[in-house]
Structure 1
Amino acid sequence: MLIIAAIFLIFMGRFAYIAATGHIAGVDLTKRSNKKYEGDSVIRAQRGTIYDSSGNVLAQDTNAYAVYAVLSHDYVTAGKKPLYVADKKKTAKALSKYLPMSEANIYKQLTPKNKAVYQVEFGSAGQNLSLSIKRKIEKQHLTGIYFKESPTRLYPNGTFASHVVGIAQTPKGSEDSGSQDLVGVMGVEKYFNEQLTGQDGYKNLTKDSYGYSINQNKNKVKAAKNGQDVYLTLDSRMQSYLESLLSKVNKKYQPASMNAVLMNAKTGEILAASQRPTFNASTKKGIGDVWRDTLVEDGYEPGSVLKIATLSAAIDSGHYNPDQYYKSGSVLVSGKKISDWQTAGWGMIPLNQAFARSSNVGMVKLEQEMGAKTWKSYIEKFGFLKKTGIELPGETAGTLQYERPLDQATTSFGQGINVNVMQMLQMTSAIANNGTMIKPQILAGVGQEQQITPIKAGKPIKASTAKKVMQNMEDVVYKDYGTGQVYQIPGYKIAAKTGTAQITGPNGGYLTGASNYIFSVSGIAPADDPKYILYITMKQPGNMTDSAETILSQVFNPMMKRALEYTKEAEKDKQQQVKVASVLSQSTKDAQKKLEAQNLKTTLVGSGNLVVQQLPKAGSVILPNQRVLLMTNGAMTMPDVNGWSKNDLLKLAQLTGIDVDIKGSGYAYHQSLAVNSLLDGVKQIKVQLK
């Protein structure tokens, strides 16, 4: 009895200690209990959307699904009902309808040699599945087939400025760490990763012993902060057309690479930009061919297009006598022979023909007249050897080989100096803007779209110099001895400069052969009132069945013509534009009457009788017959969107804050939510276009 009493006292003392201190074996029992009955639920932040200049989506968040199959017979319900794949042949047949795998390969995956395997996946074929495919598979009611959800990035346009827009993806190994955040690894996605990335929130729940949430009023919630949207200067119409032209030329002539950029000559806005090889951002097909954005990351010798800077420098520094004759063909510099592309030359010709003929010897003469020091100062004034600062990652500053007289001479026709595409556009802008150089811009705003204003990158030459160089660029196109006659576009005056740059071989020296060059053209149009600059390069065409100028003109001419025609349409539209009147706090009847008097369409979002919000906002300048959405007091209700354009639907999403999932192209004909349904609490509306 004494022993039992002693043991009892020991237990009593132990219980008293635990009750008083709340600890046992170094564990805080209060925290352990809270942990058992509390749980954190992550509220995922949405990555910002990337838009073009017209509000078209270039990149946005969505969810992707990966399918997997449980094979272990241990996975059953309490009643021993199988939760594993019981009928493998039926499962393989059903999955083969929705996965890019044959029925035989799926069955093979479902029957591994190792019988102890718990579950299997289906490689890349079973990953990145859309919600619609997931639902179709689920409708087959396949036992043992499950899905893992993960955030992914949707690029609805496929091959569309892919290296410029870039991609965002979940880093490898992030699933093991529990993170599913998307990270930009290329292009704008990478450059603005910090702004695009949101901050996840959380919900701290109090649960009962069965895991159900209790005490809702005591739950702690921190809202997620979505990433900021990014707006680009790209014009989808121009970009799509440029992609199609490049693809056609690339397929026919098979160059090692191509670059093409269309820029607004006055503002520096990049309206279209692409490269070859490229990739489909949606499927990732071709992404392994070239990872770099060659528009900014690649330095190369520009060849004769740099003669724009050489001629500008000679005229501006007072070392140009257009009527002076020189002997073309070749010239010796430090004992080395420099030749014209037409090695026999054209005999004794005046300097005013050197540029249009693209004479290397003529440019060397200009460099020698200026002197190495003066010529180098203009190289720097034109922004070479430093980054333009365009909002794209990895821009190279370029290099210059300039120690010997021979180096100094060869730079006059674009050798011995490395540049990037944006630097060449920036240089050409000085000719289009009376000597003022304009910085190329790809960004139209973070958080909200802003009006683009030109950013001056310097004034390397006088206005009078720019006009003389412009005339020489016109001679390239219109003189019978000009190298760019193929770039004439009926109805428009074109100024251009062609280029043929040698390529350094792996063992030093330049490659030989008819196609071992970087061929290029830089053009301004219209020459008498510059609106666009188009710069194209093509490296080593593998199937050179036409001249370089003929090949490049198949991109240059239709692209520049399309841009100029759009300008005509825009100027015509501008004369008809309407400034939206303010109708806030007015009755719906008066508001509609006022806007309809401006030849605008109106739609009410709500059942009230007073306007509380309008989109487009008051003061916005839009075209006649555009739709103005009016939100009324009272509950928000779903309008009839039949016949609406994609742009109208995006306005609805912006006004209501509800995600509008748009499928197809054309105009709306089906909506998932009935007309006049309440919008309160609705998270997504699906609209089909045709």
Structure 2
Amino acid sequence: MPKPRSRKRTEKSPMRSVFVRYMFIVAFLIIWIGIIGARLVHLQITQHDWLKSQAESTRGYEHKSKMLRGTIYERDGGVLAMSIQARSLFADPKFIEDEKSVSEKLAKVLDLDRKALAADLKEGRENGRRFIWIARKVSDEVFRAVNKAFSDSGDEAATTVGHPGLGWRKEQRREYPHNELAAHVIGFSNSNDEGQSGVERSQEDVLKGETVSKWRERDRLGRVYIETGTEREPPKDIVLTIDSTIQFDTEMALAKGVKDANAIAGKAVVLDHKTGEILAMANYPTFDPNRYSESDPETRRNRVIEDNFSPGSVMKMVTYGAALEERKISPEAFVNCGNGRLTVGGYTFSDSHAIGSVSYTEAFAQSSNVGAIRTGQSVGQDTFYKYVTEFGFGSRTGVELPAETEGQLSHPDAWGGMSLASMSIGYEIGVTSLQTAVAFATIANDGVKVQPHVLKEIRQSDGSTVSTVKPKAERVVSIETARNLRKMLREVVLNGTAKQAQLQGYSSAGKTGTAWKYDPQLRRVNRAKYISSFVGFAPADDPRVAIAITIDEPRGGLRYGGQVAAPVFRQIAEKVLPRWGVPPDGSIPEDIPLFDDPAEEPMLAVEESEEDAADPAEAETRKETSVPEPRKKEAEALKKEDLDPENVAGDRPKAIRPAEKKKT
């Protein structure tokens, strides 16, 4: 028989049950409160910034825009480079499953490779890419064509792409309205609106458009009623010294000159010697900055300031200028050029033909190497070096363009026994076309050298002037020396090697130069390759412009500076002077044929001990050549000077060491 339950235990059971239930409720409340608290902490602390941005986005948003890049103008206000709003097409591969169909439509409109585009879209989708550029900064015509291609109705007025995986973004496109005109001066900017060459690069900080971020708030109808943000200074505009008409005429004349000479390249620069303003700077071949990616990088180089070359007889202007300034010579005094040969430091320099004892003016006009070397020797190497540097050689001109080279000029401490002689006639030195233009502009400007520049002024977008370029100026030689040199340079055009530089209605002055090019592969000069030049100014007595022309490797029947470069100078000068309102001075050019002027033949020097062995035919010729009867007095004079007449006789060009390319 079962025992009866205890009354005490029976009485506690209801109390225990209530307690358990109570504790369960309390635990539940604690957990619930903990969850709520944790959620509140998460929302209020962890996700505070995100929730705030989400709330603000319902009534406001951040608006980013890039200011248009500054405009580049020519001196008379014409636009040379400008930026306009454009659209760029992009793709989100996630929403393009029909890449073959999409690629086919885009390829037809954008002239793209259909298979390559389809592969890119497929690869992007498989790799999770959400953004791919299809075409950057397209024209309005292309924009409409793409929209029409994806419009169900073929609507030409469609403003969006009818495909969820394609879209447009606003950007800016750089345009160069005159295409190739002044391309090497202006330069170009890339697809990210960053200047890559020319003024576009050197003035990047002035021209670039910054990205501006502003916060906009809108009302319930989506209308913006508040806009806040930091104001940025807008890009500035630039005015160049370039005259577009002169630039065009220069480019046309240079292109014709290069083609007529069957040359590989050419360069030209037109300079206002009084102000230092560069009115034109041209290279041929050239390129179109609107399609810079289609051009050869070599073509985009500005050879006027980037290429070194041996100036040859052009350098004789500096040689004679130094001697005149130091009172070592006078234009009317005589210099003994003998029979055209002179030995210096164990090397023999030659003229193309003997001219005997003549005035310094005639020796200069006939481009005598012997005369120039004797003139350089009268000055001495240290003084000569001083004038070479003061005329601007061996250092950058400071023009506001990138990649300018300083040329090649060693210090006299590093010169050899024949260095002074070589430099006196334009060897053992490398120069740029702009440096030669500046040197001759110094003589045109009565001996004052003015720093060349392509920037005229910087303006705000509203047209107000921010700054005007004020170039440096320094005197190199006296007014007397400059004017004597101008007369001597005038004689070069009238009766010397530059008769093709005579102008219709205007007087002109200048110096020719023809040199063999140094070939780095041969490690010596290549006697089959020439570089020919002419540098001058006009009018001769009261100059208005200085012009430098260089023709690289003329390969036709004509090759001398007086034949291929001087005519280009003439074509340019005859258009520039009337445009600038310069009255004619009545000069009438002679009818000069493009003959082979022996005074222009490049000359080299050979070591005296090797001279006869170098060329047996020439050696035999020299043995048969005696001092001409009219030159016997000169030979006697040389003996009185303790000089061997045989070292200044002969009429054939000689060879030279690799580093010395001598011209006349």
TM-score (norm. length: structure 2) = 0.73
User: Would the alpha carbon gap of residues 330 and 283 (structure 1) be closer, same or farther in structure 2, given more than 3 Å must change?
Assistant: same
Give the Cα separation in 1 of the matches to 2:582 and 2:258.
30
- 1:562-573 maps to which residues of 2 (within 5 A)? 562-568=575-581
**Which blocks of at least 5 consecutive residues in structure 2 are unaligned?**
1-20, 152-161, 585-664
Asked if residue 417 in structure 1 is aligned to residue 426 in structure 2, the reply is no
Query: Which residue does 2:288 correspond to in 1?
Result: 280
Contact 2:532–2:564 (CA<8 Å) still a contact in 1? no
Query: Which residue does 2:308 correspond to in 1?
Result: 299
Contact 2:72–2:79 (CA<8 Å) still a contact in 1? yes
Asked if residue 442 in structure 1 is aligned to residue 464 in structure 2, the reply is no
Instruction: Kindly name which structure, 1 or 2, has the bigger radius of gyration based on alpha carbons.
Output: 2
Asked if residue 532 in structure 1 is aligned to residue 548 in structure 2, the reply is no
Asked if residue 62 in structure 1 is aligned to residue 75 in structure 2, the reply is no
- 1:331-350 maps to which residues of 2 (within 5 A)? 331-340=342-351, 342=352, 344-350=353-359
Give the Cα separation in 2 of the matches to 1:114 and 1:458.
63
Query: Which residue does 2:33 correspond to in 1?
Result: 12
Quick one: which amino acid aligns to residue 228 of structure 1? K
Aligned length: 537
Q: CA deviation at 1:408?
A: 1.4
Give the Cα separation in 2 of the matches to 1:87 and 1:508.
56
Asked if residue 552 in structure 1 is aligned to residue 569 in structure 2, the reply is no
User: Would the alpha carbon gap of residues 4 and 215 (structure 1) be closer, same or farther in structure 2, given more than 3 Å must change?
Assistant: farther
Q: Among 49, 73, 76, which residue is 1:51 paired with?
A: 73
Q: CA deviation at 1:110?
A: 6.5
Q: CA deviation at 1:315?
A: 0.8
- 1:184-583 maps to which residues of 2 (within 5 A)? 184-206=195-217, 216-284=224-292, 285-321=294-330, 322-326=332-336, 327-340=338-351, 342=352, 344-401=353-410, 402=412, 403-447=415-459, 448=464, 455-479=471-495, 482-506=496-520, 510-514=524-528, 516-545=529-558, 547-568=560-581
More helix by share: 2
Contact 1:267–1:452 (CA<8 Å) still a contact in 2? no
Tell me, what secondary structure is at the counterpart of 1:55? coil
Q: CA deviation at 1:455?
A: 3.5
Q: Deviations over 1:79-129 (max 9, x none)?
A: xxx9x775876x37xx64x5446xxx54x4576599676599xx9995542
User: Would the alpha carbon gap of residues 116 and 195 (structure 1) be closer, same or farther in structure 2, given more than 3 Å must change?
Assistant: closer
User: Would the alpha carbon gap of residues 197 and 328 (structure 1) be closer, same or farther in structure 2, given more than 3 Å must change?
Assistant: farther
Give the Cα separation in 1 of the matches to 2:51 and 2:170.
35
Contact 1:266–1:530 (CA<8 Å) still a contact in 2? no
Q: CA deviation at 1:521?
A: 0.5
Tell me, what secondary structure is at the counterpart of 1:504? strand
Give the Cα separation in 1 of the matches to 2:385 and 2:274.
27
Q: CA deviation at 1:544?
A: 4.7
Give the Cα separation in 2 of the matches to 1:491 and 1:243.
23
Query: Which residue does 2:176 correspond to in 1?
Result: 155
Q: Deviations over 1:213-248 (max 9, x none)?
A: 868444423445321101100001111122222233
Query: 543-552 or 38-47, which moves further after superposition?
Result: 543-552
Percent same amino acid at aligned positions?
Answer: 28
Quick one: which amino acid aligns to residue 337 of structure 1? T
Query: 130-139 or 19-28, which moves further after superposition?
Result: 19-28
Quick one: which amino acid aligns to residue 300 of structure 1? F
Contact 1:186–1:393 (CA<8 Å) still a contact in 2? yes
- 1:83-122 maps to which residues of 2 (within 5 A)? 91=105, 96=108, 98-100=109-111, 106=114, 108=115, 112=119, 118=125
Please report the RMSD computed on the Cα atoms of aligned residues, expressed in angstroms: 3.4
User: Would the alpha carbon gap of residues 363 and 509 (structure 1) be closer, same or farther in structure 2, given more than 3 Å must change?
Assistant: farther
Query: 550-559 or 496-505, which moves further after superposition?
Result: 550-559
Tell me, what secondary structure is at the counterpart of 1:405? coil
Higher relative contact order (CA 8 A, sep 6+): 2
Give the Cα separation in 2 of the matches to 1:141 and 1:304.
67
User: Would the alpha carbon gap of residues 63 and 541 (structure 1) be closer, same or farther in structure 2, given more than 3 Å must change?
Assistant: farther
Quick one: which amino acid aligns to residue 293 of structure 1? N
Q: CA deviation at 1:392?
A: 1.2
Tell me, what secondary structure is at the counterpart of 2:396? coil
- 1:514-663 maps to which residues of 2 (within 5 A)? 514=528, 516-545=529-558, 547-568=560-581
Give the Cα separation in 2 of the matches to 1:360 and 1:559.
29
Give the Cα separation in 2 of the matches to 1:185 and 1:13.
62
Give the Cα separation in 2 of the matches to 1:438 and 1:87.
60
Tell me, what secondary structure is at the counterpart of 2:291? coil
Query: 310-319 or 223-232, which moves further after superposition?
Result: 223-232
Give the Cα separation in 2 of the matches to 1:16 and 1:124.
47
Tell me, what secondary structure is at the counterpart of 2:549? strand
Query: Which residue does 1:687 correspond to in 2?
Result: none
User: Would the alpha carbon gap of residues 553 and 99 (structure 1) be closer, same or farther in structure 2, given more than 3 Å must change?
Assistant: farther
Q: CA deviation at 1:542?
A: 3.7
Tell me, what secondary structure is at the counterpart of 2:547? strand
Q: CA deviation at 1:17?
A: 5.9
User: Would the alpha carbon gap of residues 34 and 195 (structure 1) be closer, same or farther in structure 2, given more than 3 Å must change?
Assistant: farther
Give the Cα separation in 2 of the matches to 1:39 and 1:453.
43
Q: CA deviation at 1:440?
A: 1.1
Q: CA deviation at 1:390?
A: 1.4
Query: 277-286 or 543-552, which moves further after superposition?
Result: 543-552
Q: CA deviation at 1:15?
A: 2.8
Give the Cα separation in 1 of the matches to 2:28 and 2:329.
112
User: Would the alpha carbon gap of residues 450 and 43 (structure 1) be closer, same or farther in structure 2, given more than 3 Å must change?
Assistant: closer
Q: CA deviation at 1:527?
A: 0.8
Q: Deviations over 1:454-473 (max 9, x none)?
A: 74532111111111100111
Quick one: which amino acid aligns to residue 12 of structure 1? I
Contact 1:59–1:153 (CA<8 Å) still a contact in 2? yes
Give the Cα separation in 2 of the matches to 1:232 and 1:497.
29
Give the Cα separation in 1 of the matches to 2:419 and 2:533.
22
Give the Cα separation in 1 of the matches to 2:210 and 2:583.
40
TM-score (norm. length: structure 1) = 0.70
Q: CA deviation at 1:282?
A: 1.2
Contact 2:75–2:240 (CA<8 Å) still a contact in 1? yes
User: Would the alpha carbon gap of residues 378 and 88 (structure 1) be closer, same or farther in structure 2, given more than 3 Å must change?
Assistant: closer
